Every structure is written in structure tokens, then in C-alpha cells.
């Protein structure tokens, strides 16, 4: 089997559409093109039936009690905005205007919270430990009588750390506080059950689980408690009045199929992808010294490996591995020299953060690809380190943190 270049190792950013998902979608572009809101003819009924079947497929994957708890959105970012802003607006006449989240959340959550702070909400941003995990005791301590909602993600997109969702959910329910979980990175890869984990609101996205881009969903618990949200997009009152707009039927059908496949194949796929990741990790660590895993070894996504390569700039390594799609922690969301806010919150030094690379393995990656990337990385890291006087000094056992530099030392 010949190796096809470039190699895609960025499955946390997005995934290819599974061919079985595409096959399910195709008829809904051409022959079954009706609008599910058209109640007066067969074209609309067929589309509506397809949308309702997809709702059942998504609900089944996350353990929702009823499919009507699934509200379609354009993706997890919109779902998160609807969840948090919608809950705050629904409670604006009450006395609860305090939100709790944590520092390594996705920007969709953090920026929504920042926006609400400008409108008078108070927000607590909890610290994480060195592995990127939130301590449920910190959540408990942060909850007050004013707390409306807690938002903690299932799994982190950069370092793959999985949060203790069930514990946090239980203590939210004990205190009568809503619990939102951004589950976009974890759903379909990790067992996630909104009932067992006491989750009231959950954001999910199709393009992280081998479905199409531009479609997602918000799980909105319907009883115990029945969650009230104010719509953020007004119009014809679609989606139980929570999200107006003509539904993206082919996307929704693909999302449903993607969820069904994850449900059927998750256990086996997790084992295979973890084996690939361990093979990648061993290959790198056995042949390159001083490496450092960012995140948690015991609580992480199957396909995630985030590694710092000291004495090699992440950006230079990415350039050197130009036939491999990976991402670097030095500047995830912008062209700035700020290191990743996720790594910073975990206490990773700026120097190490600048050398970090995220490898994201998925359903369609192979052992051949892993072995090729390992060989390439070994060669390129050695080349780049040969250019680094700091690496030479570190090899000789000099503690670089104790050195007095003569010139002002800036990155």
C-alpha cells in the first residue's frame, strides 16, 4: 500500500465525512429536497421524517430521554451561545446572574461568558490542574445562591483532557444549578450520557464525528429540570421556538448517520485509535529525548497526543513536517506570539508551550501513516536541534533557568 501525502493528523480540528454518511445525505439534495416545515405535501413530509429520524439517532448517542430534547443548530458554537445566553435571558427577572466555567474551555464558551459579563453577569473562571482537569470541589465551592449555570466541557480540543463531568453534574443538580457541557470534542469518542451525568444542556457538532460541517445540536433537558431558554435567532418559531430558520436537511441527515455509526463502532474504534496514538507516542519518546506530554495520560481523548519538543519552535517543526497536517500550540487562534491559553492555564511554561504540537488521530488513519510521521519527526527534530545552542547546553546538564543572559532575552 503506497502512502498518500499529505497525511491528515488534525482530527480534533475537523474530520473527513465518512463515505457512509455522504451516501445517506445525497438523496436529500436532489430527490427529497423538501422543506420539513412544508406541511401540505409529500416533499415536506419526507424531509420532516428524515429530520425526526436523525433527531432519534442523535438522542440515542447521548442518552437523551426523548428526541424532542435535540435542537438543531449550525454547530457547537451556536449551540453553546444558545445554551448560555438563552438560559441567562430566560432568568433575567430572577436573582441568579452568576455563571461558573473554567479557563481551558473552547472560545465559544469563554467569549460568550465575556459578552455576558459586559451585560452585568458575574462569571467565575476556575483554574485547572497541571493535567488540565477541573476539581469538582472547586466547582462546589464556587456555587452561590446567585449561581444560574455551570459550563464545563467534556474533553479539551487542544490537549484532549477529559473532565469529571458526572461528578460536576451531580453536585450541580444537588444545588439546583443548570449544567451545560460543551461535548463537541468528546461525543462519539467517549461514553457520554446526559441522564447518567446529570447534564441539562449539551453542545455537539457533526464535523468532529465524521459528519458534515455547519450542523450541530443543543440537547435541552425537558424534565427534572425542564430547561427554559430564550431563542437567540427569531423567525418562524422552528425547533420548539428555540431556533428559527429552515433546517439544513442533508446536513442533519448526515449528522444523524454519523451519530449512529459512532454508537455502533465506538468501542472498537476507541481501541484502534488508542493503539495508533500509543504507537505514535512510543515512536517519538523512544527516539527523541526531553519530550513532554501536555495534558493527562489517564483522562484523555483516544486520538489526542499533545507533545512539547523542547528546543524546537513549534512553528518551525510544523513547517518541517509540511506533508503532515498537525497544529501548534504556539498560536492556535491568531497570528500572535501568545502561547496557547489552554497550555498557559495548565501552568506549562511559555518556552514549552511554544514547542508544542497537537497530533489528532482519527477513524481513517493507519499504522503506515503513524510510522511515516514518527520517522519524519525524528529526522526533523534532530536537524532543528542541531541548530540550537540551548539544546547543546541542556544536553551537557547546564540548568538553563539559572543562566544570567547579558542581553534582554525576548522571544
Q: How many helices (H) and strands (E) does the chain have?
A: 12, 13
Cα pseudo-dihedral 103, 112, 115, 99, rounded to 10 = -60
Active site residue 332: yes
Between strands 356-360 and 327-328, the pairing is: antiparallel
CA dist., res. 371 & res. 164, Å (int): 33
245: Cβ contacts below 8 Å, ≥ 6 apart: 233, 235, 236, 238
CA dist., res. 358 & res. 107, Å (int): 18
Phi, psi of 144 (to 5 degrees): -125, 180
Q: Length of the chain, please?
A: 411
Instruction: Decide: 155 and 186 in contact? Cβ < 8 Å.
Output: yes
Count CB-CB contacts under 10 A for residue 74: 17
- The secondary structure of residue 190, as a DSSP letter, is B
341: cell is: 491559553
Rounded to 5°, the CA angle 229-232-238 comes to 80
Cα pseudo-dihedral 179, 180, 185, 190, rounded to 10 = 30
- The secondary structure of residue 344, as a DSSP letter, is H
Between strands 324-325 and 98-102, the pairing is: unpaired
Phi, psi of 125 (to 5 degrees): -105, 105
How many Å separate Cα 314 from the centre of its chain? 21
CA dist., res. 192 & res. 256, Å (int): 16
Cα pseudo-dihedral 149, 297, 313, 397, rounded to 10 = 130
Q: Which of 113, 181, 198, 332 is catalytic?
A: 332
Phi, psi of 315 (to 5 degrees): -65, -40
Cite the active site residues. 332
Amino acid at each position: 500500500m503506497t502512502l498518500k501525502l499529505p497525511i491528515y493528523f488534525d482530527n480534533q480540528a475537523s474530520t473527513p465525512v465518512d463515505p457512509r454518511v455522504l451516501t445517506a445525505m445525497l438523496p436529500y439534495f436532489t430527490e427529497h429536497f423538501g422543506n420539513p416545515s412544508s406541511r401540505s405535501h409529500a416533499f415536506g413530509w419526507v424531509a420532516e421524517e428524515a429530520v425526526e429520524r436523525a433527531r432519534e439517532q442523535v438522542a440515542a448517542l447521548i442518552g437523551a430521554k426523548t428526541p424532542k430534547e435535540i435542537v438543531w443548530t449550525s454547530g457547537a458554537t451556536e449551540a453553546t451561545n444558545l445554551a448560555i445566553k438563552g438560559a441567562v435571558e430566560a432568568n433575567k427577572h430572577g436573582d441568579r446572574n452568576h455563571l461558573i466555567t473554567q479557563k481551558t474551555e473552547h472560545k465559544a464558551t469563554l467569549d460568550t461568558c465575556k459578552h455576558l459579563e459586559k451585560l452585568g453577569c458575574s462569571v467565575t473562571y476556575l483554574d485547572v490542574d497541571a493535567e488540565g482537569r477541573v476539581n469538582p470541589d472547586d466547582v462546589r465551592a464556587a456555587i452561590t445562591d446567585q449561581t444560574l449555570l455551570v459550563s464545563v466541557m467534556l474533553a479539551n480540543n487542544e490537549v484532549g483532557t477529559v473532565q469529571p463531568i458526572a461528578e460536576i453534574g451531580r453536585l450541580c443538580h444537588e444545588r439546583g444549578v443548570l449544567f451545560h457541557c460543551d461535548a463537541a470534542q468528546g461525543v462519539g469518542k467517549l461514553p457520554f450520557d446526559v441522564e447518567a451525568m446529570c447534564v441539562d444542556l449539551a453542545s455537539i457538532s457533526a464535523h468532529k464525528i465524521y459528519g458534515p460541517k455547519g450542523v450541530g445540536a443543543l440537547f435541552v433537558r425537558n424534565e427534572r429540570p425542564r430547561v427554559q431558554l430564550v431563542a437567540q435567532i427569531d423567525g418562524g418559531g422552528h425547533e420548539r421556538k428555540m431556533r428559527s430558520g429552515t433546517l439544513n436537511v442533508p446536513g442533519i441527515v448526515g449528522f444523524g448517520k454519523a451519530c449512529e455509526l459512532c454508537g455502533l463502532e465506538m468501542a472498537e474504534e476507541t481501541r484502534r485509535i488508542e493503539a495508533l496514538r500509543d504507537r505514535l507516542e512510543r515512536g517519538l519518546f523512544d527516539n527523541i529525548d526531553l519530550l513532554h506530554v501536555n495534558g493527562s495520560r489517564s483522562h484523555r481523548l483516544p486520538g489526542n497526543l499533545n507533545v512539547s519538543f523542547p528546543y524546537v519552535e513549534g512553528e518551525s517543526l510544523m513547517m518541517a513536517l509540511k506533508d503532515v497536517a498537525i497544529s501548534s500550540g504556539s498560536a492556535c487562534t491568531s497570528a500572535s506570539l501568545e502561547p496557547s491559553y489552554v497550555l498557559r492555564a495548565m501552568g506549562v511554561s511559555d518556552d514549552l508551550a511554544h514547542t508544542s504540537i497537537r497530533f489528532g488521530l482519527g477513524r481513517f488513519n493507519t499504522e503506515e501513516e503513524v510510522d511515516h510521521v514518527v520517522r519524519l519527526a525524528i529526522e526533523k527534530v534532530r536537524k532543528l536541534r542541531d541548530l540550537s545552542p540551548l539544546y547543546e547546553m541542556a544536553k551537557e546538564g547546564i540548568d538553563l533557568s539559572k543562566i544570567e543572559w547579558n542581553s534582554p532575552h525576548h522571544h
